Structure formats: structure tokens, C-alpha cells
Amino acid sequence: MQPVLDFLKLSIEDQFFSKSERKSLREIVDQIKPTENQLAFLRNQIFELANQNATPENYRFILDWIRDATSALMNTIPQAPGSDAYFSPGETCRNIILQQIGQATHHIQICVFTISDDIITNAIIGSHKRKVPVKIITDNDKMLDEGSDIDQLAGAGIPVRIDRTANHMHHKFMITDNKTLITGSYNWTRSAAKFNHENILLTRDGGAIKSFAKEFDQLWNTLAEY
């Protein structure tokens, strides 16, 4: 894996990742023929490098770099249908959320109890700026918590719908491009990554995606606009 890691480090440090470099990265990965676990490790390393090198000045480059680097890995070895589980504390759950947001090209449907992790929020706004349609459903009570990013997301122009009842909209799932679903106990908060024992299930099962998409549409059509 070291040749791939060295290539990624060089491309992010010089803040240039050309089409020919992406092709070269795919060729390196083709030669190594990594397993699915090794590919998951490389995807995590992409987000680790992005976190380490991101600044307010290079924010747009970092988002594009994440998209191009993960795309290079995806294009090398096709994803097989199936499911993967991820756990916190640690960066793994957050990274898989960031990965799916960064890879989305057609639409992102987010239905989560609360969003207060600025790293995830910035990735969502970045996808919105890339013209990927984003919809967010969340809970009205958690929206008022200190540190909640819902106002920032809505202010960026992302459509948001909220539950205004005394009960909670407690779902935690996201569908990207109608191809991938992530769900689980993981709250989209900094404390979930740093301290809590949480989980995320990623699945490409068509039946599960269809059921969650139906629930998303039902909530979207009945809940209040932010």
C-alpha cells in the first residue's frame, strides 16, 4: 500500500491532481490489486490526509481532491454489492459519511436526528456547491441545540424539512445516488466520533435502499419546511 500512500501524499501536498495523475494512481492500484479491506484502509487514509492538510484557503481543492482520489480507487476495482459495518469512537464512521457525500454525483438524501459535526457540514455544503442536489430532514428540538449546523446548511441554500411535533424524528440514514445507503446508531456529532460507541452499516442492497427512500419521501412530503 505504501506506493499508493506516497502518491496520495505528494498529490495533496503540491495541491495539484491532474487527469494524468489520476490515471497513474489507477495503474498503481491495478498493479497492487488490493483486497476490499485494503481499499477500505486507503479510503480512510484519503480522509485522514484531507483532514491533516485542509485550510480555509485550500478548502475547494481538498473537496475536489477527495472526490478525485476516491474516484480513482473506485474506477480501478468495481464495487461489489454487499454491506460493510463501521464503528466509533474514531474516524471510521465519520470518514465513511464523508466518502459517500464526496462520491455522490446525482443526489444526496440525508435524514438524521442532529448534525453538529462541522467537518460533515462542510462536506455537505461542498457537494451542494458542486451542484449535487441535497435534501435534509432533521428533528426540530435538536436543531436548536448549541452547535447545531442546520441553520448554516439551510443558509447555504440546502432544502431542509423538520419535524414540529412533540415526538422526535430519530432516524439516522443517508441515501446517495439511489445506490448506497448508510444507517445505524451514529449521530452526526463530534462527540460520536471522539467518545461514543456507535455504528454505521453501509449497504448497496436494492431492497433496503428502496424501503428507506420510500420513508424519506413520505417524511419529506409531510414534514414542515425549515
Question: Considering 170, 197, 210, 214, which one is annotated as catalytic?
Answer: 170
Indicate if 177 belongs to the active site.
Answer: yes
Question: Considering 84, 141, 177, 179, which one is annotated as catalytic?
Answer: 177
Question: Considering 128, 142, 171, 172, which one is annotated as catalytic?
Answer: 172
The owner of cell 465513511 is 96
Indicate if 68 belongs to the active site.
Answer: no
- Tell me how far apart the alpha carbons of residues 106 and 132 are, in angstroms, rounded to a whole number: 6
Q: What are the CA-CA distances from residue 151 to residues 101, 111, 138, 154, 175 (Å)? A: 19, 16, 11, 5, 22
Phi, psi of 67 (to 5 degrees): -60, -45
Q: By three-state DSSP, how is residue 169 classified?
A: coil
Burial letters for 134-155: b for 16+ Cβ neighbours within 10 Å, e otherwise?
bbbbbbbbbbeeeebbbeebbe
And the C-alpha cell for 226?
425549515
Indicate if 172 belongs to the active site.
Answer: yes
And the C-alpha cell for 205?
442492497
- Residues noted as catalytic: 170, 172, 177
